[in-house]
């Protein structure tokens, strides 16, 4: 059963949006969108070496979106309301999707980014329900 979104949900979405506008976060998001396309763990390790600005940007983006996904998974934030304006989470998930198994193996952490993954799959299903070609067209556009 879908619960009705509340004013608290709307306010949290607005607060999360404000956080995304912070200068360093904008820089990290721009870097991620323009440059993050590894296809395997080894490419990721080269792209974001420890101590680098790229590594900081990577960690900033993925931890932010995993935090947002955690709010959704725990029921703090309405998934249905979030899906109306939070497509960037799906971009991050789709770009992480192919490297996530390698990261989990390297970190020996099978639950690493599990909230992002869960909400990413839910978001993909939501898009497919909106139109049969919407999700595949989206993935083609952002994965390249």
Q: How many CB atoms lie within 10 A of CB 88?
A: 16
Per-residue model confidence (pLDDT) at position 4: 87
pLDDT band at 136 (very low <50, low <70, confident <90, very high): very high
Question: Is 137's pLDDT higher than 90?
Answer: yes
Q: Mean per-residue pLDDT for 10-17?
A: 96
Question: Is 49's pLDDT higher than 80?
Answer: yes
Q: Mean per-residue pLDDT for 122-127?
A: 96
Instruction: Show me where the domains of the chain are located.
Output: 7-143
Q: How many CB atoms lie within 10 A of CB 117?
A: 18
pLDDT band at 2 (very low <50, low <70, confident <90, very high): low
Mean pLDDT of the residues in the chain: 95
Q: Mean per-residue pLDDT for 88-109?
A: 96
Per-residue model confidence (pLDDT) at position 1: 56
Per-residue CA distances from 134 to 1, 14, 29, 105, 141 (Å): 24, 26, 23, 32, 11
113 phi/psi in degrees, rounded to 5: 60, 30
């Amino acid at each position: 059963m879908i619960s009705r979104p509340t004013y608290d949900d709307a306010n949290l979405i607005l607060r999360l949006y404000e956080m995304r506008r912070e200068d360093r976060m904008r820089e990290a998001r721009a870097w991620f969108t323009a440059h993050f396309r590894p296809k395997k763990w080894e490419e990721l390790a080269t792209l974001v070496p420890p101590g680098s600005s790229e590594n900081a940007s990577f960690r900033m983006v993925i931890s932010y979106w995993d935090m947002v996904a955690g709010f959704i998974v725990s029921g703090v934030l309405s998934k249905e309301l979030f899906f109306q304006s939070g497509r960037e989470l799906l971009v991050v998930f789709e770009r992480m999707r192919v490297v996530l198994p390698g990261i989990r193996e390297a970190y020996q952490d099978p639950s690493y980014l599990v909230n992002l993954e869960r909400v990413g799959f839910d978001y993909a299903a939501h898009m497919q329900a909106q139109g049969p070609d919407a999700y595949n067209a989206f993935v083609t556009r952002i994965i390249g």
